[in-house]
Amino acid sequence: MPERKISEQEKQIERRARKVLPGGSLGNLTNNIVITEGKAGRVRDASGNEYVDYLLGSGPMLVGHAHPEVIAAVQQQLEKGTTFFANNEHAVLLAEEIVSAVACAEKVRFTTSGTEATLFAMRAARAFRGRDKVLKFEGGYHGMHDYALMSMITTNPVDFPQATPDSAGIPKSIQNEMLIAPFNDLETTSAIIERHHDELAAVIVEPFQRLIPPKPGFLQGLRDVTNQYEIPLIFDEIVTGFRFAYGGAQEFYGVTPDLCTMGKVIAGGFPLALVAGKDEIMAHFDRSAEPDAFLPQIGTLSGNPVAAVAGLATLEILKRPGTYERLFATGQTLKDELQRLMDEAEIPAKVVGEAPLFDVFFTEEEITDYRSTLRADKTQLNRFNALLLEEGVLKGDSKFYISVAHDQDDVRRTLDAFQFAVNQLKV
């Protein structure tokens, strides 16, 4: 593919963006690509360049862009109204499907974003447990609220379990309400929980942290120690819900938490997320709860019917026989071939993750936790990403999100881009 062309139209959009958006962007990607349309496993930019898309809107488009069944369901609902701030049947049907599919889900409360969902999951655990502190894992991503932005992207790690803020504008007092543990280190984590168990409201974890799979026994060990002290365990499945299995990472890894959060896939590209879990914890959202136990949660668009019908249509597609087998086969092929090319070129690199979601770390070290990711060569990763973009393959700063819409031609084109990028990295 020739060098990516940038049209005057796209340049003009970029100039306008710089005048009205901080940094000239929406705050998501570090590059300034302007996407105009998507179909199945590909997207097109404002200059007319087409890309095999592994960004997938940061993950929601698991069945591909503009899937005709999802679009048809949305169009039908649009003619009936877009939002009501009241119960609607589609949201009830979606909640029923979540309860049926997800092991920990007895009740569901909808939100608009994953950030809201993790915030309310922590708050529900505090209300239930009558404690304030929450333990999270260093490098774990739980959205953009103050509690989540503790020790998420720190470049100067401190001793566990001390928390460090990753953003300006966070009250210093928040540091005292969060404890930090190392992902995949059950011994250290258990010791922190044992020492602070009487202060802890909950433990929150991405069962698959960013790109790092749990070591065998880690999640079960975490489940065991939290059970021992009757501390609610929250799985943040905003990313993994319905991606690793129809029942999420808790089905895939065989460990059931007390609460979970889900988003992205469940709304088919529309703003919707949720908290789900045991009835005794979720009861705090019920207005009939005792006044000192009630947890108000009001959202203008929570359970929006357009998002709900998109979610129902998406889940119907995912339930069909062979869907997850195809998803995993596509991802595994790309994972294996990328690692093979790196090995043959003698480039120090580790392809890390699960078949539906992975990336490459330029390092000889095994990637097992956040601190090991810091020792990988990020300059090399940025160059790799840029080379792929020039060859018509789009991904985020990190992560290849695989979709069920990626076909053999997409795979072939991606493997050609891998080969080109690896050849350039050797130079």
By annotation, the residues acting in catalysis are 141, 236, 264
Q: In what order do the strands lie in the sheet with 393-394?
A: 35-39, 42-45, 50-53, 393-394
Instruction: Give helix 218-228 / helix 186-196 axis angle, nearest 10°.
Output: 10
What CA–CA distance (Å, rounded) separates 101 from 103?
A: 7
Question: Residues with Cβ < 8 Å from 417, sequence gap 6 or more?
Answer: 52, 387, 388, 391, 392, 393
Structure tokens at 239: 């990313």
∠ CA 273-225-104, nearest 5°, is 30
Output the DSSP codes for 68-81: HHHHHHHHHHHTT-
The sheet that has 400-401: what strands, in order across it? 350-354, 357-361, 400-401
Question: Could you tell me if residue 67 is left (phi over 0), alpha (psi between -120 and 50 degrees) or otherwise beta?
Answer: beta
Torsions phi, psi for 392 (to 5 deg): 85, 30
Reduced to 3 states, what is the DSSP secondary structure of residue 392? coil
Q: Which residues contact 160 (CB under 8 A, 6 or more apart)?
A: 138, 180, 181, 182, 188, 192
Pair 121, 259: CB distance under 8 Å: yes
φ/ψ (deg, to 5) at 206: -80, 115
Pairing of strands 400-401, 42-45: unpaired
